[in-house]
Amino acid sequence: MASTSADGRAGIDTALVRRLLAAQFPQWSALPVTPVEVDGWDNRTYRLGEKMTVRLPTAAGYVPAIAKENEWLPRLAPALPVAVPPVLAMGAPDAGYPFPWSVRGWLPGQRADRGRIDDMPGFAVSVAGFLRALQRCDTAGGPPAGEHSFYRGASPAHYDQETRRCLAALAGRVDTARAAAVWDAALAAEWRGEAVWFHGDVASGNLLVRDGELAAVIDFGTSGVGDPACDLVIAWTMFSGDSRDAFRRAVGQDEGTWARARGWAVWKELLVLSGRIDTDPEQAAVNQRVIGEILADHDRFGQATVTA
């Protein structure tokens, strides 16, 4: 019997995947189905045989990503320097599961944990190269930033009230005055540039490495066309020191874009920290360290901010 929970992931298990395959793609129904070792929140992913995966949204809010990826990943893939998930089939709601789902090709590699990468500055340059290539892709007909991208690619002002609440909740526990200055600078650096493709969730879990090098980028569910600032957040969440400097040089964005990127980064770190500071001190310390590095970056570069 499928498990249930209150978090929107109810009813998704290997038995459901088998039922869906048997009903809609019987040619694959005899293949083994196993959960992936490290799963995401927006979707549940299962390995299907040796060369495929099954991807199922966990809630209605994540459904638009399925159709978007199905349409755009095949168009973007030829222009990108590393692999992205090949879409093999689209499934329909069935067997008690209410959302569209998809079958993808399996991409070999491991998530980009620091311990698997010997040359972090070189890796940072590779990530920047992927982003520059993505930004050069044809935007004609592409989905403008909005609700489907959780407003990545739009102005960070969408999260202004949430950020202010987090700042109030964390008063006395982080340097909220400096964090507010980072946020205000992000809102002031209004984006006026040409709309480009953005990924929307460039993080270690969505970057795959082989032999220490970038091999693939996955999970384009928050992608779209708009402001690329949100894709720079990895500068603080994964890179530091020489690798951050290498990323900054290679990705080639103006100071207004970096100001907005610091805003995106501080919003997310404050939001996560406010929910765990009293319950998970070890992970809270990670968020506090990242916030400290964002603030230091603002102190170093913020005075040079210009409107993009």
236-286 pLDDT, tens per residue? 999 999 999 999 999 999 999 999 999 999 999 999 999 999 999 999 999
Confidence label for 308 from pLDDT (cuts 50, 70 and 90): very low
In this prediction, residue 7 carries a pLDDT of 37
Q: Which amino acid is at 12?
A: I
Q: Kindly tell me if the per-residue pLDDT of 97 is higher than 50.
A: yes
Q: What percent of the chain has pLDDT over 70?
A: 95
| Per-residue pLDDT tens over the stretch 36-50 | 887 777 889 999 999
Residue 137 C-beta-side C-alpha neighbours within 13 Å = 28
Digit-coded pLDDT (tens) for 212-226: 999 999 999 999 999
Residues in the chain: 308
| Amino acid letter, 16 | L
Instruction: Name the band, by pLDDT with cuts 50, 70 and 90, for residue 125.
Output: very high
Cα separation, 203 vs 233, whole angstroms: 8
pLDDT tens for each residue of 52-88:
999 999 999 889 888 899 999 999 999 999 999 999 9
pLDDT at 228: 98
- Whether 257 contacts 232, CB under 8 Å: yes
pLDDT at 10: 52
Written as one letter, the residue type at 130 is: F
Report the alpha-carbon distance of residue 9 to residue 163 in Å, rounded. 27
The identity of residue 54, as a single letter, is V
Q: At what angle do helices 281-301 and 255-276 cross, to 10 degrees?
A: 160
Q: Does domain 14-107 have CATH number 3.30.70.2700?
A: no
Q: Token pair for residue 260?
A: 């907005």
Report pLDDT for 272.
97
Three-state SS sequence of the chain: CCCCCCCCCCCCCHHHHHHHHHHHCHHHCCCCEEECCCCCCCEEEEEECCCEEEEEECCHHHHHHHHHHHHHHHHHHHHCCCECCCEEEEECCECCECCCEEEEECCCCEECCHHHCCCHHHHHHHHHHHHHHHHHCCCCCCCECCHHHCCCCCCHHHHHHHHHHHHHHCECCECHHHHHHHHHHHHHCCCCCCCEEECCCCCHHHEEEECCEEEEECCCCCCEEECHHHHHCHHHHCCCHHHHHHHHHHHCCCHHHHHHHHHHHHHHHHHHHHHHCCCCHHHHHHHHHHHHHHHHHHHHHHHHCCCC
pLDDT digit string (tens) for 148-201? 999 999 999 999 999 999 999 999 999 999 999 999 999 999 999 999 999 999
Residue 6 has pLDDT above 60, yes or no: no
Task: Give the CA distances from residue 96 to residues 2, 50, 102, 231, 249, in Å, rounded to whole numbers and listed in that order.
Answer: 10, 27, 16, 36, 50
The yes-or-no verdict on residue 117 having pLDDT over 70 is yes
d(CA 109, CA 62) in angstroms, rounded, equals: 25
**pLDDT score of 2:** 34
Q: Which of 142, 3, 147, 155 minimizes the C-alpha distance to 61?
A: 147
- Assign a CATH topology to domain 111-304: Aminoglycoside 3'-phosphotransferase; Chain: A, domain 2 (3.90.1200)
In this model, does residue 144 exceed pLDDT 60?
yes
Express each pLDDT in 7-37 by its tens digit.
Answer: 335 579 999 999 999 999 999 999 999 998 8
Domain ranges of the chain: 14-107, 111-304
Burial class of 92 by CB neighbour count within 10 A (0 to 12, 13 to 18, 19+): exposed
* Res. 133 pLDDT band, cuts 50 70 90: very high
Residue 292 burial (CB count, 10 A): 16
Per-residue pLDDT at 90: 95
